[in-house]
Amino acid sequence: MKLDVLFSPIQADELFFTGKTTIVIDVLRASSTIITALANGAKEVVPVGTIEFAVKVSGGIFGGQTLLGGERNTKKIEGFALGNSPTEYSKEIVSGKSIVFYSTNGSRAIVKAKYSANLFVCSFNNLNAVAKHLKQLNEDVIILCSGNNNFFSLEDSVCAGMLINELVNVDKNFTLTDSSKSALTLFKSYGKNILKLLSESDHGELLITNGFESDLKDCAELNSTEVIPHYSANVLKVLK
């Protein structure tokens, strides 16, 4: 089994992912938020690549069963019901709903990887569950870090490294690339205190400045759920 990491979605085009098993990580905050929404009973999350498309998609669905969620540069988008804080996606609000979701990095990374044969969303919240599932699948894996406006994100890379660490600890028969070796090294260096890592990361600092400090605590929670968002037919649902 080969484990590879992309530190930014810009490093590959859509066709690169064709037929692959891809794990999308956007710790701050899209993957944490999507996992929370599905764990709290949302029917599905529809990740979209543009705000315009989010509005268009949501307009075609009747009966008040759809919510628009997400952010642009950390802030809630005008006209959207929800931002990108996991805590907004509570049972009362999301249960049974379809959520059309846009975010600067995470939702676009998921859409970019749409041709994957297997596409899952991971954060610290569901890391063990994802690792367990990948062990069963036993396929080569691409871990796609959503990054930060095409740049490198420490928190996504450390999360990728933690996932790799879970996998290589069980089965020594893995091939690592330059990037997966590096992610593993970064996990070993920064993974002991996840909340501290998030607080000191570039994006974490921006979130704190913009008033989202409490989100960091939610995003740092390790293995709080077994829910794995699985992308199929353009939507993310809980993997059964």
Segment lying near a copy of itself (by CB under 8 A), choices 59-67, 71-79, 107-115, 147-155: 147-155
202 contributes a contact to a copy of itself by CB under 8 A: yes
Q: How far is the CB of 1 from a copy of itself (least distance, A)?
A: 17
Q: For a copy of itself, what does the binding mask look like between residues 99 and 128, x meaning CB under 8 A?
A: ------------------------------
201 contributes a contact to a copy of itself by CB under 8 A: yes
Please identify, using beta-carbon distances, which residue of 13 and 78 lies nearer to a copy of itself: 13
178 contributes a contact to a copy of itself by CB under 8 A: yes
148 contributes a contact to a copy of itself by CB under 8 A: yes
First to last CA, the chain: 24
Q: DSSP secondary structure string, 115-131?
A: T-SEEEEE-GGGHHHHH
Please identify, using beta-carbon distances, which residue of 20 and 203 lies nearer to a copy of itself: 203
Burial class (CB in 10 A: 0-12, 13-18, 19+), 47: buried
d(CA 73, CA 196): 22
d(CA 23, CA 229): 10
* Joined tokens for residue 223: 């293995």
Burial letters 148-158, b for 16+ CB under 10 A, else e: beeeebbbbbb
Please identify, using beta-carbon distances, which residue of 69 and 147 lies nearer to a copy of itself: 147
Q: How far is the CB of 167 from a copy of itself (least distance, A)?
A: 19
Helix H or strand E encompassing 6: strand 2-6
179 contributes a contact to a copy of itself by CB under 8 A: yes
Question: CB under 8 Å to 178, separation ≥6 — which residues?
Answer: none
**ω into 29 cis (within 30 of 0):** yes
Please identify, using beta-carbon distances, which residue of 53 and 115 lies nearer to a copy of itself: 115
Please identify which residue in 95, 150, 209, 234 interacts with a copy of itself, judged by CB under 8 A.
150
Q: How far is the CB of 157 from a copy of itself (least distance, A)?
A: 7
Please identify, using beta-carbon distances, which residue of 87 and 193 lies nearer to a copy of itself: 193
5 contributes a contact to a copy of itself by CB under 8 A: yes
Closest CA to 158 of 203, 197, 212: 197
182 contributes a contact to a copy of itself by CB under 8 A: yes
d(CA 191, CA 148): 19
Q: Which residues bind a copy of itself (CB under 8 A)?
A: 5-8, 10-12, 148, 150-155, 157, 177-179, 181-182, 185-186, 189-190, 201-203
